[in-house]
Structure 1
Amino acid sequence: MSEWVCDCCGRWRVSVELIRGRYRYRLIHRYPERFGGGKNVLGEAGSVSELAELLRRCTPLSLADLHEAA
């Protein structure tokens, strides 16, 4: 599984999973440890254009703000 992370704080993540021969992009917001940690799945998308729309609706980010996690 591949994952992309935002450049600003690292709390916004997009996981890329291959499910039944199709890629699914899952947008996740991770909470800092000082607030108990954990994550909240904000939505899933089936294409990059849907992912861009999901990012626009739910976050202050765009696709250009993400980089591949190490």
Structure 2
Amino acid sequence: MEWVCCCCGRWRVSVELIRGRQRYRLVRRYPAEFGGGKDVLGEVGTVTELEELLRRRTPLDLADLREAA
């Protein structure tokens, strides 16, 4: 499962099962014209921690994310 920001699609949050636990991974993607690629900005285990990570590392909050198609 993955969520993407509504504004530009650059910020993504994926939910992954790692060692039997759900982890929320925040990633910043770069457009192809800038070489593409991505940076993992952090991984957390709860929605509360995800809110804090978004607040610290991005201009977004949870309301700015939509499920990726």
Residue-pair matches, total: 69
Match of 1:11 in 2: 10
Q: Normalising by the residue count of structure 2, what TM-score does the alignment of the two structures yield?
A: 0.96
How much is the aligned-residue C-alpha RMSD, in angstroms?
Answer: 0.6
Cα drift, residue 19 of structure 1 = 1.8
Match of 1:37 in 2: 36
Matches within 5 A, 1:1-70: 2-70=1-69
- Which aligned segments of 4 or more residues in structure 1 are displaced greater than 3 angstroms? none
Structure 2 gaps of 5+ residues are: none
Structure 1 gaps of 5+ residues are: none
- Tell me how far apart the structure 2 counterparts of residues 20 and 38 of structure 1 sit (CA, whole Å): 26
Cα drift, residue 21 of structure 1 = 2.4
- Tell me how far apart the structure 2 counterparts of residues 18 and 33 of structure 1 sit (CA, whole Å): 28
Residue aligned with 2:53, SS: helix
Q: Percent identity?
A: 78
| Deviation readout 1:8-46 (Å, 9 max, x if unpaired) | 000000010012221100000000111000000000010
Residue aligned with 2:9, SS: coil
